[in-house]
Amino acid sequence: MQLSPNCSEALVYAAEMHAQQQRKSTDIPYVTHILAVTSIALDYGADENEAIAALLHDGPEDAGGSDRLKDIRHRFGAIVGDIVAGCSETFEAPKPPWRQRKEAYIANLQQASQSVRLIAAADKLNRSRQRADLRLCQ
Domains along the sequence of the chain with CATH: 5-137 (1.10.3210.10)
- Tell me: the pLDDT tens digits for 111-121? 999 999 999 99
**For range 53-82, the mean pLDDT:** 93
50, 115 Cβ separation under 8 angstroms? yes
Return the CA Rg of the chain.
14
Give the residue with greater pLDDT, 133 vs 39: 39
Is residue 63 very low, low, confident or very high in pLDDT (cuts 50, 70, 90)?
A: confident
Rounded to the nearest integer, the mean pLDDT of the chain is 89
> What's the pLDDT score for residue 52?
98
**For range 78-97, the mean pLDDT:** 90
- Tell me: the pLDDT tens digits for 5-44? 999 999 999 999 988 878 777 788 889 999 999 999 999 9
Q: Give the number of C-alpha atoms closer than 13 A to the C-alpha of residue 33, restricted to the C-beta side.
A: 28
DSSP letters for 43-79: HTT--HHHHHHHHHTTHHHHTTHHHHHHHHHHHH-HH
Record the pTM. 0.89
Q: In degrees to the nearest 10, what's the CA dihedral of 66, 67, 72, 77? A: 80
Beta bridge mates, 29: 22
From CA 98, how far away is CA 104, in angstroms rounded?
Answer: 10
> What's the pLDDT score for residue 22?
80
> What's the pLDDT score for residue 42?
97
Is residue 132 very low, low, confident or very high in pLDDT (cuts 50, 70, 90)?
A: low
Residue 134 has pLDDT above 60, yes or no: no
